[in-house]
Amino acid sequence: MNKNLRVFMIAVIVVWAAGTFAYLYLLPNIIYNGVYGLVMGNGVKTGGIPLNTLYTLPTLGSPSSNSFLVNTGANRDTLYTVGVLNLGADPEILHVPNIPIKYYSLEFFDLNGNDFAELGIRTPYQAGNYLITGPGWNGQVSQGMIQIASPSDTVFLIVRVLVENESSLPIVYNISKQIQITPLNN
């Protein structure tokens, strides 16, 4: 085999390996940090969203929407609620009401962008109170509450609720606003 061809083949293998590593291990962090910045900055709501609060977008995504987050990956028939939880000091209680809609999901992401839990129509867990805990928490879970243990102290929560038609938007918005976060030690 010609020396130049060997050098080329080695370079191709090195570039392929580096690209595969970057895609598998770095891209999720880049995406998560970008979304985190949008939520905490000005991407969803002017002034950002404070930690440990949820914000429900009042409208569906559309080409005329001024929200970068809604225009880059949002479904046009889904109402979104987003928030970033800081579980470093104390766990947070998530209240999920009965949601009489064909489709909804609450998805939890850790700092690496991995989804570690999901609630909704496709899971056995639906309406109720959930205790979202960080990795170092070792307290007691109150009776009737279900614990969701996060692998990191920072959690990105995204709620999706289907809006079947324009006239159901106010109903879905009011239901979505009932999904609440409160501190355990309030």
pLDDT tens for 62-116 read 655 555 455 455 567 888 888 888 898 889 999 999 888 888 889 998 877 788 9
Q: In this structure, what CATH number is given to the domain that contains residue 80? A: 2.60.40
Rounded to an integer, what distance in angstroms lies between the CA atom of residue 96 and that of residue 72?
A: 26
Is the overall model pTM greater than 0.85, yes or no? Answer: no
178: domain range? 39-183
Is the Cβ–Cβ distance between 96 and 176 less than 8 Å? no
Is the Cβ–Cβ distance between 174 and 97 less than 8 Å? no
89 lies in some domain: yes
31 lies in some domain: no
Return the closest-CA partner of residue 93 out of 144, 57, 25.
144
Rounded to an integer, what distance in angstroms lies between the CA atom of residue 31 and that of residue 77?
A: 23
123 lies in some domain: yes
98 lies in some domain: yes
Query: Domain total for the chain?
Result: 1
CA quadruple 165, 129, 122, 70: dihedral, nearest 10? 50
The tens-digit pLDDT sequence of the chain (186 residues) is: 688 888 888 888 888 888 887 776 676 666 666 666 655 555 444 456 778 889 888 777 665 555 545 545 556 788 888 888 889 888 999 999 988 888 888 999 887 778 899 988 777 777 899 999 999 898 888 888 999 999 999 898 988 888 888 888 899 999 999 999 999 886
Q: Which residues contact 60 (CB under 8 A, 6 or more apart)?
A: 76, 77, 78, 79, 163, 169
Q: Which residues contact 21 (CB under 8 A, 6 or more apart)?
A: none
32 lies in some domain: no
72 lies in some domain: yes
Position 71 scores a pLDDT of 47
